Amino acid sequence: MPESRTPHVFIRARAGIQPGLRNDFTGMRLLFVVNEAYFFISHRLPIALEAKAHGFEVHVATPRSKETEQISRVGLMFHAIPLSRSGLNPLRDLGTLISLMRLFCRIRPDIVHLVTIKPVIYGGIAARIASVPAVVSALTGLGSVFVSGRSFWGLLRAMVLIAYRFAMGHRNSRVIVQNLDDFAFLTQAGVVTDRSIILIKGSGVDLSLFRTSPEPAGEPIVMLASRMLWDKGVAEFVEAARQLKTQGVKARFVLVGDIDLRNPTAISFRQLENWHQSGMVEWWGHHSDMPDVFAKASLVCLPSYREGLPKALIEAAACGRAIVATDVPGCREIVHDEENGILVPPGDAISLATAMKRLIEDVNLRRRMGTRGRQIVEQQFALEKVVGETLAVYRELLI
């Protein structure tokens, strides 16, 4: 990214601590549009609750699911919308657009906060048509369409960029990205201007929940915690585990995460079971108590192909765990090579195995990296910092 942009990004990211901005939003309506209720709860609920504490009447629109009751239970107003976060179905997507237009006209929000790709595109278009006064578009990454090298997806990428330009073209809007690579890509592609784009690093981590703890006794546990997707580098992790076990390295290799069959890069249940049965890795499935899960780990890995800013790595670092990750957008925002972890090339199981082995065998090194990781999270990724920066964006748009 050109040097001239870097100071601008960080000045805008610090806006959350600037004095003189509006603090009382009594009587104003804030509407979140998110593709999944569970994602809103895990990544945006603290922002919504803080906005409510500042006077906003907060609404949340997602597809209905088992988690949606939690949204109403904390005093937010829930609205069910028809939205599929995967696949292309023109009629269904047109229905999503029309549903959002009707919702915006009925609620008449002062500001809408759109999170992830489809809500950003369809919500952004609907907001312009419905004359919503202010729009925040939050991208948690550019998605699989910008990772795959398949020729069909190249055409789809061009179509998505056109949609982005229109959806993010609201005259009173801000686009939030989580890493400098996405910032540079969107500005250089002409999707957004320097004035409308802001860097806020992730969704924050509650440092009172994610605390450091000693490693458990016994063989080191090397953990990959994410959705079970090929794009997360799960196959490379399994292959690295196989190589290390063949070399006689004493460690347990664990996959933590659920199957996500609505994602085009989902790994099947059968494949995960086969890996588990082979003894190369253990598959623990979904776990909601991530502080407890990371407390069991000695080392955390994420050999992903591209990220926005992986919350699991921030949480692992907050727990004082060293990290091995790929040198790709998102991962390198939290992993400082040879400081709190090791970065390896994407798609390279041999390099991944080498880095994992080094940290498995050097307990002092991984403890030093874990300590530094906690310091980095405290300085850059604390929940209060992210919430404050986001509310500052609302203030800027509504003054």
Quickly list DSSP for 298-367: SEEEE--S--S--HHHHHHHHTT-EEEEESSTTHHHH--BTTTEEEE-TT-HHHHHHHHHHHHH-HHHHH
Within a domain: 213: no
Within a domain: 316: yes
CA distance from start to end of the chain: 31
Tell me how crowded residue 78 is: count the other CB atoms within 10 A of its CB: 17
- pLDDT, residue 153, reads 60
Within a domain: 272: yes
Q: What is the pLDDT of residues 126-184, one digit of tens each?
A: 999 999 999 999 998 776 666 555 555 667 778 888 888 999 999 999 999 998 988 99
Q: Provide the residue count of the chain.
A: 399
> What does the pLDDT average to over 270-284?
96
Q: Are residues 104 and 189 in the same domain?
A: yes
Q: Are residues 62 and 183 in the same domain?
A: yes
Q: Are residues 181 and 38 in the same domain?
A: yes
Q: Are residues 41 and 136 in the same domain?
A: yes
Within a domain: 216: no
Left, alpha or beta for 279 (phi > 0: left; psi -120 to 50: alpha)?
left
Mean pLDDT of the chain: 89
What CATH number is given to the structural domain containing 97? 3.40.50.2000
**269 contacts 241 by C-beta, under 8 angstroms:** no
Collapsing DSSP to helix, strand or coil, 77 comes out as strand
Within a domain: 214: no
Left, alpha or beta for 204 (phi > 0: left; psi -120 to 50: alpha)?
left
Q: What does the buried/exposed string (b/e) look like for 234-255 if buried means 16 or more CB atoms within 10 Å of the residue's CB?
A: bebbbbbbbbbbeeebebbbbb
Q: Are residues 39 and 156 in the same domain?
A: yes
Q: Are residues 283 and 179 in the same domain?
A: no
Within a domain: 367: yes
* Higher pLDDT pick, 148 / 310: 310
Share of the chain above pLDDT 70, in %: 90
> What does the pLDDT average to over 265-291?
95
Q: Residues 6 or more apart from 364 whose CB is under 8 A from it?
A: none
Within a domain: 211: no
Q: Are residues 22 and 54 in the same domain?
A: yes
Q: Are residues 163 and 240 in the same domain?
A: no
Q: Cα separation of 392 and 376, whole Å? A: 23
Within a domain: 262: yes
3-state secondary structure 168-230: CCCCCEEEEECCHHHHHHHHHCCCCCCCCEEECCCCCECCCCCCCCCCCCCCCEEEEECCEEH
Q: Are residues 174 and 243 in the same domain?
A: no
Q: What is the pLDDT of residues 90-117, one digit of tens each?
A: 778 899 999 999 999 999 999 999 998 8
Which of 184, 321, 171, 351 has its CA nearest to residue 254?
321
- pLDDT, residue 147, reads 59
Q: Are residues 170 and 50 in the same domain?
A: yes
What does the block give as tokens for 186?
Answer: 């969107």
> What does the pLDDT average to over 196-213?
93
Domain count, the chain: 2
Tell me how crowded residue 55 is: count the other CB atoms within 10 A of its CB: 15
- pLDDT, residue 87, reads 60
Q: Are residues 184 and 278 in the same domain?
A: no
Q: Are residues 152 and 234 in the same domain?
A: no
100: containing domain: 5-204+383-398
